[in-house]
Structure 1
């Protein structure tokens, strides 16, 4: 059964990755067609073709390796001027790129080419793919947080401590001199549902905790629901040193990584954990936080890759927040699916991985280097700047930017991306990241 769940997690992530890539390319395809550009192909994957079908002027299909996708737009760059055979490796690469570009320009459709579009339309076409991944991430995180909910303490009481013990104590039984907890003295019982404290309605245990912690020595009216009826109890929190926790019950840590201990109001009751739906804005906030984290990873990517290589060679532990390949993400998905946890917990983890993957696709594709989408956006913006400059000084409009001249740099970037992917795949196979312990 565990193996089936593991395989199911991998399949979930592969299907999710395929949909993410497919929607990314739809983000390019739709505006390109709306702006009149001739699109010859829409393909998911690379390598040998598995299946395809032509609909109108566009061939739609799947290829063997589901690690990316592309659409083939007519005339990404200006047509070549036919200057004869190229000499030198780089010039040969440029000439090959120009020849391939010329082949996309169909006879009679010379005006339906990408490079003739206004700059703003080209930016929209190239930005459409990454934006689709960003929108998909928002949808996934919203389903996670507002549909399933965030696991945290609910208003249902799970336990009541009999006595007050020092923070961090390993004591399991109450001694004769240990004072009773305010919760026990007030008559709070497991199964009670908190309704309000000191006249303030509470919907989560963290809200109740905040009121209690801020009121040491103050007597509070506590309304609970028990057996379908509401009862009002009186409770006086005692001042005690306690480790502060977040909404999910995890200890808060200081700058040195040590638990934060503070003298606060304490009553000695614990909550049942459950999934509490969050506001719809929580998905957007989580997406923004994830974009910031992935952006930080991209900025420090060379250092992170070096650390991955060192861990692979020396057998050291990998950074759980470091880069992963598709193999690594699939492996984590399998582990999450096979872990001994409730179904909702596993689904929450799988959706989190898929949402983070889409954020990574969004941020990574905006890197301003060809062949990535960000590189094409920079080329379009550069042409826009040149045209604005010429218009400002009343000069003739400049010729369209010939990005084929950047092919040597593009080849170098592509080679580095392939090398990075190979390193991460090997590391994910032989030195995988351990985030589940």
Structure 2
């Protein structure tokens, strides 16, 4: 139980640090571009402690699952002469952007807090003389840098963690575990070869234990299930096995032999006929068993790993409605959870706890898994924040890009500068986004409790 809790704590700390660095990704360029930053906060809810340095209050809140910086004038005034609004950036959309007590306002509900983020007057009044140190007056490229700084920091964190995993721990790689020297026809139970037994195709072709399998036929980086299926249907047909042996790449032609093999059911038990004899089937056979040793990779291989994770997360986001329906069907029905589908904070904590507490698993593997989990969460933070909807970073970036396109269009046609885009008018859409995200979070929490994703 103690190890289970340790795993959860490690992930919570990792997430909190990731969020803190995400907000530093916003804070540093904002400071460099002279924008007045009133607060830098990790977490949301009640403030545990804070300290003011210069014009910025730095602090930690009770629930370490969010964070923000509050910048002066992130949204332009609705009409000329009004004061611009102070608001903030988020790593998660559920946090309050600033302390309501500072201006004497009462705390509102969740939706009210979101509206305050987009349209209500700032709790931190912009001091006299700082009217030009507001976000919306910055050149568009500077605004984009500030808003992209947070998600970019998540990419940096993920890249570093993936690099540590690949080069320091290694990754499980499909390899040849053992090679049979002969073919023993089913249903014989012999474990040794006789002179009359044919040589196993793998041994005849020169495959050796420890060979790293990188390609079989047209299958690049195949799984063992894919290799087995290809072998079984390729009796008498040569298959090229591309392997790495002692750092050298070799291609060996292996011709599966047609032989009898016992049929097994989905539970792995031998199927028997009415007379009690094993049911056999003619399939291709080469005589190898797999192994999955940890193989260290160059640090630079973290880049394609990062790219694959980004693509996977955007694919999930693109099919999110369908995947949420599947989660609901699993949570309220008999279907199993998709191990590659969305998972909530409860599910992530459970996975971390289970892996850390699993007996018989080397500590190297446990640590590697936890680092990989935190790296994947950072990729998810990047992908999630890049969704072009308020109050996410992607919404502010799209607003800046649209403003740039509008200014360019008007300049080409010699029209007056239309001024900044008032993205605060998207408050109704923000309501919808918040409601949807809140419902999604509740569904995932419920599913993670009643139908958690199982470790393979």
TM range (shorter): 0.7 to 0.9
CA contact (8 A) 2:170 2:295 kept: yes
SS of the residue 1:414 aligns to: helix
Determine the C-alpha separation between the residues in 1 that align with 2:448 and 2:161.
25
* Paired position in structure 2 for 1:301: 320
Instruction: Return closer, same or farther for 1:11/1:63 CA change in 2, 3 Å cut-off.
Output: same
TM-score when normalising by structure 1: 0.76
CA contact (8 A) 1:312 1:430 kept: yes
* Paired position in structure 2 for 1:228: none
Determine the C-alpha separation between the residues in 2 that align with 1:91 and 1:182.
70
Instruction: Return closer, same or farther for 1:187/1:425 CA change in 2, 3 Å cut-off.
Output: closer
1:69 to 55, 61, 67: 67
Query: Is 1:120 aligned to 2:147, yes or no?
Result: no
| 1:102 positional shift | 7.5
TM-score when normalising by structure 2: 0.73
Instruction: Return closer, same or farther for 1:165/1:116 CA change in 2, 3 Å cut-off.
Output: farther
Determine the C-alpha separation between the residues in 2 that align with 1:356 and 1:171.
46
Unaligned runs of 5+ in 1: 84-89, 195-203, 218-223, 226-235, 243-260
Of 114-123 and 177-186, the range deviating more from structure 2: 177-186
SS of the residue 2:50 aligns to: strand
Alignment of 1:213-224 (within 5 A): none
* Paired position in structure 1 for 2:172: 151
Determine the C-alpha separation between the residues in 2 that align with 1:92 and 1:30.
25
Query: Is 1:393 aligned to 2:409, yes or no?
Result: no
SS of the residue 1:401 aligns to: coil
Instruction: Return closer, same or farther for 1:54/1:310 CA change in 2, 3 Å cut-off.
Output: same
Instruction: Return closer, same or farther for 1:299/1:182 CA change in 2, 3 Å cut-off.
Output: closer
SS of the residue 2:76 aligns to: coil
Instruction: Return closer, same or farther for 1:34/1:362 CA change in 2, 3 Å cut-off.
Output: same
* Paired position in structure 2 for 1:285: 304
Q: Any idea what the Cα deviations from partners look like across 1:108-146, whole Å, max 9, x if unmatched?
A: 201100000001110111011111111111111111112
* Paired position in structure 2 for 1:161: 180
1:240 to 224, 233, 256: 256
Query: Is 1:314 aligned to 2:321, yes or no?
Result: no
CA contact (8 A) 1:75 1:104 kept: no
SS of the residue 2:297 aligns to: coil
Instruction: Return closer, same or farther for 1:426/1:106 CA change in 2, 3 Å cut-off.
Output: farther
SS of the residue 1:74 aligns to: strand
2:355 to 336, 359, 367: 336
Determine the C-alpha separation between the residues in 2 that align with 1:111 and 1:122.
14
Instruction: Return closer, same or farther for 1:70/1:186 CA change in 2, 3 Å cut-off.
Output: closer
* Paired position in structure 2 for 1:374: 394
Q: Any idea what the Cα deviations from partners look like across 1:356-401, whole Å, max 9, x if unmatched?
A: 1111111110000000000000111111111111211122211211
Determine the C-alpha separation between the residues in 2 that align with 1:99 and 1:263.
71
CA contact (8 A) 2:177 2:209 kept: no
CA contact (8 A) 2:167 2:296 kept: yes
SS of the residue 2:40 aligns to: strand
Unaligned runs of 5+ in 2: 83-110, 218-230, 232-236, 239-244, 247-251, 259-281
Q: CA RMSD in A?
A: 3.8
| 1:164 positional shift | 2.5
Determine the C-alpha separation between the residues in 2 that align with 1:328 and 1:56.
40
Determine the C-alpha separation between the residues in 2 that align with 1:385 and 1:297.
30
* Paired position in structure 2 for 1:39: 37
CA contact (8 A) 1:39 1:57 kept: yes
* Paired position in structure 1 for 2:294: 275
State the aligned residue count.
377
Determine the C-alpha separation between the residues in 2 that align with 1:78 and 1:238.
69
* Paired position in structure 1 for 2:55: 57
Determine the C-alpha separation between the residues in 2 that align with 1:410 and 1:186.
63
* Paired position in structure 1 for 2:440: 420
Instruction: Return closer, same or farther for 1:433/1:96 CA change in 2, 3 Å cut-off.
Output: closer
